[in-house]
Structure 1
């Protein structure tokens, strides 16, 4: 086993961390009537936050001068080459983006694009046509509540069943111990949070998020990393199929996908909006909650408008599309190998 390689580093080496804002105490419900992206007016409704599609145009150029959209990184009110003028709009959570970016984002996601935003923007299908459309087209979006003990039992039962079908899937005592340790730690880390089956499967994959897959292969054993002898027994990898070379996906990764998708069908619930907060283990006070959603790898990099290097990061699961992050937002040291390979030196 390589020096310094352990289970903890396997599980947390590529997590992105941000400090969350102070949790706002829920205030009395307010009547809201704002302009939506569709240009229509919402009928009066009562909620702590408005719906995801409620926007307010930001007209003060002085307050937003030299401020970039956090999605495309273009300055507000500028007119970049090949684009219309970058016009800022404010969501109900008070975060500001350019209209073009937020319209694109809301076509596939009803949460604020900022991963650390904790605001719940409830769908209001009775008041907003776009909310009603989203509810109809995403009615089959099932989300699992992570329950560690219950899921551990289910995974063990399914692995035992798999062994009865073929000795290929039989694990040594050491392999089983290390795999179950990883599964237990992962489920406990995300317990009582909401995740899709795809998210959960990729979180449980012991090889997907590690910085050194060769070291992980040594740690867990080559047989656990081997492709399934008959890939057709597992569902195809539809989310990011290029995570592994063609035909080289470890059978345990395919197993977790099969288990998670079947478990989702039996136990999933439809959720309109959900967060994934994890508590800082070093500080138990309420205001110490941090964002701990892991990413798979860095796709590329570029120099932002402020002169700093930013990375295009591919996230675990299908919750978020690839997005740009600064090195301060990534786990310490997780970008070191990438920097060395590409000759990046941070100022």
Structure 2
């Protein structure tokens, strides 16, 4: 990969700055790809001092980032000054987080960076500042729009142990059931299959699809969505040549033997997909947004305000996100 990765600051009061500094320190031991941070250089220098981490901060222009990466953490300023303290987001938090995301997407779309890697954001902080999107995924779709046409973003949680995709994402369970349709399942699964081929080198993806209800509806006695919504979608996908099995009872899809039978599990709602992967691979899981005209990965955890600035945050998920972004960029080039 010849282009550096664009890493956003995330919520400044969270652990994003902490794990970013720790990831840079492990760059040589782990062979990490070159990346630069979009944020406030002075703020990152202060956090490094607070954590007593020997990380020199270099404010650079983007084109200088790859060369600077060897000796210092390159930071491209977004022009947003940050004053938030660990665990205490303030009025500068939302502007800094949103500005970094916008600039990262602009850099990748302009061909200046290889992929977007995002540190965790605090949705409640952004909502109070007027942010109108349910989360990162939906905001990225807006930034990716061409001529007003929004792409369909698909959230994949990936790890070496398990990959999962929820068909409905950041909505209540009641709304998720209302949103669930055969066309939505079909379009989501097509994006998953195409992405597995393009970015993960899986020539014939095997996809396991969950049911919605307990026991996948138990032949209609515990719900009919499997027969009326999910099965027709599976039939359409199979007719298109995709290897899709289901609908399967969600409670028997994730044990060791079951996971060996598929490359990705497509589930009907957020927690149905995320609970198993966060149980099996909490520190190694990566959030990947499929269906966009650029690559985006992120750690599979939140801001963890309670441990921010204390030096105890685990950078494993961010490191995995950086490594996967570089792998996907190389695979697609």
Q: TM-score range by the shorter chain?
A: under 0.3
TM-score between the two structures when normalised by the length of structure 2: 0.26
Which of the pair is proportionally richer in helix? 2
* Structure with the larger RCO, 1 or 2 (CA within 8 Å, 6+ apart): 2
